Structure 1
Amino acid sequence: MADDKPDVAWRVIGGLVGLVTGWAMKKLLGFVWVKATGKEPPVDTESPEVSMGEAIGYAVLMGVGMSVAQIVVNRTAKKRYDAWKSLKQVTPGQ
């Protein structure tokens, strides 16, 4: 029977990976936005000074970019964590 207890170490590591990924992607996507549009990213997409197209474009870029980054980074980190964990559980002489 598989161990159904949540792996606390992975939950902590996964949370930290998620925070760092979110922060890094916000910076990267903001940089991409500036290069593509020549303007700073909108701070308040509900502001009347921000056009509808700009607000939607920024929301799509951030939503898709953040989601893809989280999927890729979380899967990679989990795979590496599981590999490290399985190496750690192997005892010499078996």
Structure 2
Amino acid sequence: MAGIVGKVTWKAMTGVIAIPVGIAVSKSIAQVWITARPDNPPRRPTDPNVSWGDAAGWAALSAVGVAVGQLITTKGATTLWRGLTGDEPPPLQEKVQTSARRQARANRRISTRAGKALEQSA
């Protein structure tokens, strides 16, 4: 799959994977909080009744959860994409193409400089 169809399919696939992952991560974060602390997690850390320590702890735990959720979603979607299509997903294809273009430009610069150096030495 290439072009716009591949990109739309990729976004739909990651969205479908992200929903259950997000639910599981949210429940896991709450369970970790309850295991570590006897009280319920502060759902609104900006509430004046929530201590700074609880607010900061909840924010840090939530940030870790978001990062893990994104990792699971991206890796899962990439594995599924490769299994279904046999190709790299669109974001990785774009990175490979960009890298190849950069390498080609660098090679052209090097060969141009080498040619000029040879002309000057002759």
Sort the TM-score into its range (normalised by shorter chain).
Answer: 0.7 to 0.9
Contact kept in structure 1, 2:29 and 2:61, CA below 8 Å: yes
TM-score by length of 2: 0.62
Runs (4+) off by over 6 Å: none
Which blocks of at least 5 consecutive residues in structure 1 are unaligned? 88-94
The percentage of aligned residue pairs carrying the same residue is 28
Q: In the aligned structure 1, how far is the partner of 2:62 from the partner of 2:4? A: 34
RCO greater where, 1 or 2, for CA within 8 Å and sep 6 or more? 1
**For 1:40-51, what aligned pairs fall within 5 Å after superposition?**
40-51=40-51
Tell me which protein shows more helix as a share of its residues: 2
How many equivalent residue pairs? 86
> 1:62 and 1:35 mapped to 2: Cα distance?
15
What CA distance in whole angstroms lies between the structure 2 residues aligned with 1:4 and 1:20?
A: 27
Larger CA Rg, structure 1 vs 2: 2
Distance 2:60 2:37 in 1: 14
Aligned to 1:25: 25
Matched with 1:4 is 3
Query: Any gaps of 5 or more consecutive residues in structure 2?
Result: 88-122
In the alignment, the residues of structure 2 paired with residue 6 and residue 66 of structure 1 have an alpha-carbon distance, to the nearest angstrom, of 28
Number of the residue aligned with 1:34: 34
Normalising by structure 1, what TM-score?
0.77
For 1:85 and 1:42, the matched residues in 2 are separated by 43
Pairing of 1:1-94 with structure 2 (within 5 A)? 3-7=2-6, 8-86=8-86
